[in-house]
Structure 1
Amino acid sequence: MAAQSATTGQVLEFQLGSETYCVSIDYVTEIVDIGELTSVPNAPPHVRGVMDLRGRTTSIVDPKVVFGIGDEGAEKRIIVFDPDIVEEQGAAGWLVDEVYQVVQITPEQVDRSPANDAGSIRGVIKRDDSFVIWVDPAIVHAGD
């Protein structure tokens, strides 16, 4: 029982450019292959467009623009977030290069972000030979 309370939770790892990022799996409803996007005039620069996902108009956000990441990458998948958890966004998804895996993490694996003032970074997860940046999709709004 004590080990259970020490668990931080599960995260979905994905690639943006050359780095690995993750979000809490609680936010994610599905992962889809990229389809045809419709551009929206006068949308913020980080909104790549909209697409129809199961009858719902879904805003597609480019987190590389939000986080200032170079444009390299394959942009093959969309992580779709639960609109009830990611407040005031409606249906939204992130355009990512690749989706890797769901991983269980513990508090001991998570360090505070040196850029914690940004608000969208929940922490840095230590791996044996690398780091994974844990981001909070609720901070990144499709309509801003």
Structure 2
Amino acid sequence: MSGETTNVLEFSLGDGRYCIDIAHVDEIVDATEDITSVPNADPQTVGVVDLRGETTTIVDPTVTLDLDEDTDGRRIVVLSEFDATGLLIDDVHQVLDVEESDVDTSTASESTRGVIRRDDRFVVWVEPTSLV
């Protein structure tokens, strides 16, 4: 599988940069709607919103990733493989072409695939299945 290229969506949570495989992304929307809290929900569940007539569960990835980041939560990345579930993120930056050899898997965990070095920063590749 060497030389395989994957497109990833780079986004921010606080000061950190993260990415997910673009194949997991259905759409990206502004978080303009009020999020309704759901009593007794899992800690990572922020609540629900109405996106185009569909109730969508909004998840905060900083909880699952155990990040101590101040986030704005201005955008929602709606995931394609989960029924009406979205990640609450700060901002979307770009879609990157990532070669398998660019990923440092020594830091991989249950929730991350590894890190990618981009210019003067690291981008953590997150596995969306571990966030929901």
TM-score by length of 1: 0.84
- Correspondent of 2:122 among 112, 131, 140: 131
Identity value in percent? 48
Q: Specify which structure has the higher proportion of strand.
A: 2
Q: Provide structure 2 residue ranges, at least 5 long, that are not aligned to the other structure.
A: none
What is residue 97 of structure 2 aligned with on the other side?
104
Q: Provide structure 1 residue ranges, at least 5 long, that are not aligned to the other structure.
A: none
Q: Which runs of 4+ in 1 moved over 3 A?
A: none
- Correspondent of 1:61 among 59, 62, 71: 59
AA in 2 matched with 1:74: D
Is 1:120 the counterpart of 2:111 in the alignment? yes
Deviations 1:32-55 (A, max 9, x none): 111211111100111000011112
AA in 2 matched with 1:29: D
Summarize the Cα distance change of 1:127–1:36 in structure 2 as closer, same or farther, 3 Å threshold. Answer: same
TM-score by length of 2: 0.91
Summarize the Cα distance change of 1:96–1:113 in structure 2 as closer, same or farther, 3 Å threshold. Answer: farther
The alignment yields a C-alpha RMSD, in angstroms, of 1.4
- The residue correspondences of 1:78-89 to structure 2 (distance < 5 A) are 78-82=76-80, 85-86=81-82
